[in-house]
Amino acid sequence: MRSLTRSILAVSALLTVRMAYADDTTVDSNPLRVDVVVDMTDAGKTLTPPTPEHPIYYYPVVKGYVAGGAVQGNEKTPPPVALVERMAAVSLAKEGYLLAGKTTRPTLLLMFSWGYKAPEMLNDDNDNPMTTRLLSSPGTVVMSGAEAAAMEGLLPTHSSVNGHEMEELVMGTKFDPTPFHQYPNPRQDLAESAARAPRYYFMVSALDFKSAVEQKKFVVLWTARISTELAGHTLDQVLPTLIADGTPAFGRDTNGPHFSEDPIIPAGRVTAGTPVWKPNARQ
C-alpha cells in the first residue's frame, strides 16, 4: 500500500503532465465497442460530481489484475500496475478527481481493479452420470443433471455458473431487463449478447473515506464498470480506451448500460513537461 501510494502521489505531485506517444505507435483503426455502466447508491446521489474547478480528493486502493470465470488461453502478461495507476490518475484528474496529498484530506476511497471475466458454462452433457430422466406422458423427457439441479434450486438458472456476475458486469446491479423482454429492444439484445462472451474490464468503486477510517464502516457511493469484448484484443491494448471512456461517467448514474464505438488509444508513456496532446489522441 505504501509503495502504491508513493507511486501515485509522485504522479500527482507533478506540476504538469505530458502524454507522449512513441513515434511508431498508431491508433488502431478497428473501434472497440465499450460498455459503461455506473450504479449510484442513495448516499452517492447526495454528492455533486467534481469538476476541474471544484475538485474532490481521493485515496486509492488498488486490487489490480483479477481474472474471473473460465480460464482464457494465450493471455499476455497483464500491464504493469504502475502504468495502469498513472493512466487512471491522469484521466481522473481531468474530471476533477485528484489524489490526496499532505495538505489535502481525501473524501473518497477509490478501489480499482481490472482484468477479464468469462462465462463458465455448466456441464450440460446428457452422458453425465448425474443425468436425470423425468417420466411424463406420453414419453420420457431427458434432462441433464445440471438442469435438474437448477430446477430444484441447487444451481443457478443461468446458462453459466457465473451468469449473474457477467450480467452485472454489463448491465450493473440496478438495471431491470424484464420490461424490455415484452418488446424488441436493440439495447437489451446487445447487453444480453455481451454478457454471454468473455470481456475485459476496468472497475472502480467509490466509498466514503471518513466512514471507512473513523467508523470502520464501508459506505459505497457508486460503482463503475467499463468493459469490452475480449476476442481479438489484449488487455494492455484496451485499458487506455476503457479508462478514458469511463472516467467522465464516474459519480453519475447511467441508469443501465451505455455502449459506444471508440478507437483504441495507445498507452504511451507519461513524463513531466508542458501539457501537449498529439493529434488523434482522445481529449
pLDDT of residue 83: 95
pLDDT of residue 159: 58
What whole-number distance in Å separates Cα of residue 61 and Cα of residue 109?
7
Q: The C-alpha cell of 31 is what?
A: 473501434
The Cβ of residue 103 has, within 10 Å, a number of other Cβ atoms equal to 6
Burial environment of residue 61 by CB neighbours within 10 A (0 to 12, 13 to 18, 19 or more): middle
Q: How does DSSP assign 115-151, residue by residue?
A: EEEE--B----TTSTT-EEEE-SSSEEEE-HHHHHHH
pTM, to two decimals = 0.71
The residues, ordered by sequence, that sit 6+ positions from 238 with a Cβ below 8 Å of its Cβ are 32, 200, 228, 264
Residue where the block lists cell 438442469: 147
pLDDT of residue 123: 59
pLDDT of residue 164: 86
pLDDT of residue 127: 39
Sign of CA dihedral 12, 14, 19, 24: negative
Tens-digit pLDDT string for the chain (283 aa): 444 444 444 434 332 232 332 333 344 457 899 999 999 999 999 999 999 999 999 999 999 999 998 888 878 899 999 999 999 999 999 999 999 998 999 999 999 999 999 998 765 444 333 333 333 333 333 334 444 333 344 434 445 688 888 999 998 987 766 655 555 667 778 888 888 899 999 999 999 999 999 888 899 999 999 999 998 899 999 999 999 999 999 999 998 899 999 888 876 544 333 333 333 334 3
